[in-house]
Amino acid sequence: MLFQFDMAGNPPDTIVTTFEDLQKSKPNTREFAVKIFRGTVDHLTEIDDMIQQQADNWRLSRMAVVDRNIIRMSIYEFMHETDTPKLVIIDEAIEIAKKFGTQKSSQFINGILDGILKKYNLAS
């Protein structure tokens, strides 16, 4: 959903109602996915500012779309899904990157997320 939002700029409500894989998901999976999607979109400016502060030599527009959105949703989870351990969030981000990103995505994402945790004191 984040990829579609980023690439096509479709309204979040449209994306949620037309996202085919979401409609096939179990209700609790669907609810969690929508929560992460909407939360990330709602806090996008703040999240993107954090990424830019951490990724000194990378503009957001130069990052691979998949990588950028995995980082975005992970930061949202760091800040707003406090019941989920931070290392679990990073591990899940890395697994998603391995499946959908490039060969170097998992290392790039791990580095950015680790830096975000330290820079913003979110590790606790």
Number of structural domains found in the chain? 1
> Residue 124 falls within a domain, yes or no?
no
> Residue 89 falls within a domain, yes or no?
yes
The pair of structure tokens assigned to 48 is 């993107």
The pair of structure tokens assigned to 122 is 């979110």
> Residue 64 falls within a domain, yes or no?
yes
Q: Could you read off the pLDDT of 29-62 as tens digits, one per residue?
A: 999 999 999 999 999 999 999 999 998 888 899 9
The pair of structure tokens assigned to 45 is 């400016």
Question: How large is the average pLDDT for residues 108-115?
Answer: 95
Q: Which pLDDT value is given to residue 124?
A: 59
Domain assignment of residue 11, given as a range: 2-119
Q: Is residue 72 within 8 Å of residue 51, measured between CB atoms? A: yes
> Residue 57 falls within a domain, yes or no?
yes
pLDDT surpassing 90 at residue 92: yes
pTM above 0.75, yes or no: yes
> Residue 46 falls within a domain, yes or no?
yes
> Residue 37 falls within a domain, yes or no?
yes
% of the chain residues with pLDDT over 70: 98
Residue 15 exposure: Cα atoms within 13 Å on the Cβ side: 18
pLDDT band per the 50, 70, 90 thresholds, residue 99: very high
Q: Which CATH number goes with the domain that contains 22?
A: 1.10.940.10
